[in-house]
Amino acid sequence: MECDSNKLMINDINGDSVSFDAYEKMAGYYFEDVDIKPFNAYFERPATLSLLPDVQGKSVLDAGCAAGWYSNWLLEQGANVTAVDFSPNMVAMTKKRVGNKAAVRQADLHEPLPFLADRSMDIVVSSLALHYLKTWEIVLAEFNRILKPQGLLIFSVHHPLRDFAAFPDSNYFRTETVEEEWEMNGETVKVRFYRRSLSTMITALLDAGLIIEKFLEPTPTRQFAELHPEDYKQLTTKPHFLMIRARKS
């Protein structure tokens, strides 16, 4: 019966979703190792967290929760957390991390989120997830629907110039699928995602009725420099991540 259940969840994944198999494979690694991986711990997270207000007592959606680092951090700060991810294995890792302290479920952000009520969330946090979506119209409309008035969307994605530099034969002005190979504990995992222009991102946010408040192109922390000085030198001269805070009017 367990196999049948997993099969149903896989069949429910939107056809435009990418890297499902990759993240199923990487779930254990994310749970064990990604908490201290420099690109996450000393680069992406400090920048994303800097955009968050006090979350004590707030209802927060962790959209694309992976193995649950953000969910756990939000709980420690006193938030009421709902977490979703399209990977059943990532959902299992998040549940392993946070237990029953958060509502955690499998959901594909390509699709509506009918289990979340209108105006039920104060904040939506989405860390390095939206570049796996082919289009942003549905997900941003859903975020707008579930956010309370003046609610916040805070998210991080690959910087569009980073992706264009990594794939110079692509068309910057088109939303295209690209693929990278990541090394995970000695195993090569192929990860696909969508690269899109900056104007496409901003237009999608504005069309969804969201007001952009802050826009970050961060550089890594000093802890990152101590661990990876060569990467640090490059990342202080070339963009890699992009963080945006937007507010519902």
User: Which own/partner contact pairs does 231-240 have at CB distance under 8 Å and 24+ positions apart?
Assistant: 231/38, 235/43, 238/161, 238/162, 238/165, 239/159, 239/161, 239/162, 240/43, 240/158, 240/159, 240/162
pLDDT of residue 10: 46
> Hunting for tokens 């390095």 — which residue is that?
128
The upper half-sphere exposure of residue 233, i.e. CA atoms within 13 Å in the direction of its Cβ, equals 2
Cα-based angle 143, 149, 151 (whole degrees, multiple of 5):
55
For range 221-228, the mean pLDDT:
94
What is the mean predicted confidence (pLDDT) over 106-132? 97
Nearest alpha carbon to residue 190 among 200, 198, 182, 202: 182
Return the exposure string of 98-115: e unless at least 16 CB atoms fall within 10 Å of the residue's CB, then b: beeebebebbbbbeebee
User: Strands across the sheet with 147-158, in order?
Assistant: 103-106, 80-85, 59-63, 121-127, 147-158, 241-248, 210-216
Question: Mean per-residue pLDDT for 33-47?
Answer: 90
Tokens of 147: 């956010």
**pLDDT of 76-95, one tens digit each?**
999 999 999 999 999 999 99
Identity of residue 208:
A
Task: Name beta bridge partners: 137.
Answer: none
- pLDDT band per the 50, 70, 90 thresholds, residue 8: very low
Length of the chain: 249
The CATH number corresponding to 18-161+197-248 among 3.40.47.10, 3.40.109.10, 3.40.50.720, 3.40.50.150 equals 3.40.50.150
215: which strand partners?
A: 244
3-state helix, strand, coil in the chain (%, to 5): 40, 25, 35
Higher confidence at residue 125 or residue 14?
A: 125
Regarding beta strands 187-195 and 176-184, do their DSSP bridges make them parallel or antiparallel, or are they unpaired? antiparallel
* pLDDT given at position 115: 97
Is 0.75 topped by the overall pTM? yes
